[in-house]
């Protein structure tokens, strides 16, 4: 790849959008935390202190020496304690002062399903990192933006169409307020993906005509239920949430969203419809499928095949490939086509750290990134595929975004996020799955 001082199309769009957002905030007289240019300290509140939350905390600490974790919220105290231990171990390994990087106190540590609300009420929180189970993301992100906080939110955006529209609306409100939203779709912050996306945008492989995206692996989880454990705790403990489609969206949403996001990104738009199938023969407990196979129609005769599987002992593949009129490319691999100028893209500490570097830089420069729509649209593609597989029907993009008469427009997964706060959780029946043609 050759170097060039040119901006990629993505950078141009990003810069234009963020500049417009900043001007909008000023013209509307809205408070804007994007004016934190030159900010030495970045005070972070973590919502969701499990394994991914602890990982997000240490990634954020590694991204910038000015980051301090000042508040913690989780449904369970022991997960907060484990998170504190994880950050302490990271500090020891990296010769960092635990007391200087971890500033959360008993007064800024909140336990319970409503703990995020108490964290967001703190004035001394600049950025929140949301790493709760997937079904909570729309509610937690909306509340964060309403509270005037910048946000990092893990992928995917949620589990159902109303939740995705909520995330898109939160993104628009963030734009008005001059707030940043960066998502855990880390491929968009990974140098090799950025290079290939730039080359594709410059015509290196011509017009994309087809593609295939895979997440085929062997991951399976065993549910655990302690004696006397209620439904709410059972569904959120020990990664159990991952095994319920109401909580995770099924693995096509929770995991395969990464690859579907790359398809949207490289093609430049979401698909117009999906037709797929799936099934289950191996899992025990929960209600997820073992596999999905979905044809995605992007319009203009562009078709992408999506395939994801979680079955041990089978061939594994996690990648994306796109075929153009003048060449082809893998998402982060070999590109065959016309030579075009490609700039260097920063990636320090890997993409999981770089996404936090990009978030913090955008806040300091007063040019807040906003990835809410791209995250929501990638998640909606996955939801389209899931609904199609569950029902056996074609699902159109408009069915989830515009057509209020569609049976799926207001489809809401139950139990929903607020049910956990209100103590109304009833776990769904396990080992009962949707049957195409009957669901």
Q: Is the peptide bond prior to 273 cis by the omega test (within 30 degrees of 0)?
A: no
| Torsion sign across C-alpha atoms 7, 13, 19, 22 | negative
| Torsion sign across C-alpha atoms 51, 258, 234, 108 | positive
Q: Is the peptide bond prior to 172 cis by the omega test (within 30 degrees of 0)?
A: no
DSSP reduced 3-state for 436: coil
Number of Cβ within 10 Å of residue 244's Cβ equals 26
pLDDT tier, 8 (very low <50, low <70, confident <90, very high otherwise): very low
In the block, which residue shows the tokens 């449904």? 75
pLDDT tier, 25 (very low <50, low <70, confident <90, very high otherwise): very low
Q: What is the distance between the alpha carbons of residues 388 and 261, in angstroms, rounded to a whole number?
A: 18
pLDDT tier, 1 (very low <50, low <70, confident <90, very high otherwise): very low
Mean pLDDT of the chain: 92
- Tokens representing 308 are 């994801």
Least confident of 11-25, 201-215, 238-252: 11-25
Domains of the chain, first to last: 31-187+354-370 (3.40.50.720), 207-324+380-422 (3.30.360.10)
pLDDT digits (tens, 9 = 90+) for 389-434: 999 999 999 999 999 999 999 999 999 999 999 999 999 999 999 9
Residue 135 DSSP symbol: G
Q: What is the distance between the alpha carbons of residues 45 and 116, in angstroms, rounded to a whole number?
A: 9
- The shares of helix, strand and coil residues in the chain, as percent rounded to the nearest 5, are 40, 20, 40
């Amino acid at each position: 790849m050759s170097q060039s001082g040119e901006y990629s199309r993505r950078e141009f769009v990003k810069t234009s959008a963020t500049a417009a957002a900043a001007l909008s905030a000023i013209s509307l007289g809205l408070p804007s935390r994007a004016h934190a240019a030159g900010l030495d300290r970045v005070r972070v509140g973590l919502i969701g202190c499990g394994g991914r939350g602890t990982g997000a905390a240490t990634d954020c600490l590694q991204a910038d020496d000015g980051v301090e974790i000042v508040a913690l919220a989780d449904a369970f105290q022991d997960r907060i304690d484990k998170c504190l231990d994880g950050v302490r171990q990271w500090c020891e390994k990296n010769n960092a002062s635990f007391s200087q990087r971890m500033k959360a106190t008993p007064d800024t540590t909140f336990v319970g399903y409503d703990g995020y609300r108490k964290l967001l009420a703190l004035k001394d929180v600049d950025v929140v990192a949301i790493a709760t189970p997937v079904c909570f993301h729309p509610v937690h992100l909306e509340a964060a933006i309403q509270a005037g906080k910048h946000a990092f939110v893990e992928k995917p955006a949620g589990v159902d169409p109303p939740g995705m529209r909520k995330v898109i609306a939160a993104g628009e409100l963030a734009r008005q307020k001059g707030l940043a939203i960066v998502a855990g779709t880390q491929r968009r912050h990974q140098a090799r993906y950025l290079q290939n996306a730039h080359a594709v945008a410059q015509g290196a492989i011509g017009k994309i005509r087809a593609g295939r995206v895979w997440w085929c692996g062997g991951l399976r989880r065993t549910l655990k239920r302690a004696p006397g454990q209620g439904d709410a705790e059972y569904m959120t403990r020990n990664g159990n949430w991952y095994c319920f489609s109401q909580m995770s969206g099924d693995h096509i949403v929770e995991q395969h969203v990464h690859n579907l996001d790359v398809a949207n990104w490289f093609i430049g738009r979401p698909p117009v419809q999906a037709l797929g199938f799936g099934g289950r023969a191996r899992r025990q407990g929960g209600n997820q499928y073992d596999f999905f196979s979905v044809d995605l129609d992007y319009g203009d005769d562009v078709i992408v095949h999506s395939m994801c599987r979680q079955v041990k002992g089978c061939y594994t593949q996690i990648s994306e490939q796109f075929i153009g009129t003048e060449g082809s490319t893998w998402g982060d691999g070999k590109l065959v086509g016309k030579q075009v100028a490609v700039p260097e893209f920063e990636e320090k500490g890997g993409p999981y750290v770089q996404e936090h570097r990009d978030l913090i830089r955008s806040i300091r420069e007063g040019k807040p990134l906003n990835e809410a729509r791209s995250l929501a649209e990638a998640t909606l593609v996955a939801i389209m595929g899931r609904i199609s597989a569950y029902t056996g029907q074609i699902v159109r993009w408009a069915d989830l975004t515009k057509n209020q008469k569609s049976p799926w427009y207001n489809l809401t997964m139950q139990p929903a996020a607020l049910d956990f706060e209100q103590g109304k959780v009833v776990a769904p029946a396990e080992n009962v799955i949707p049957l195409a043609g009957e669901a």
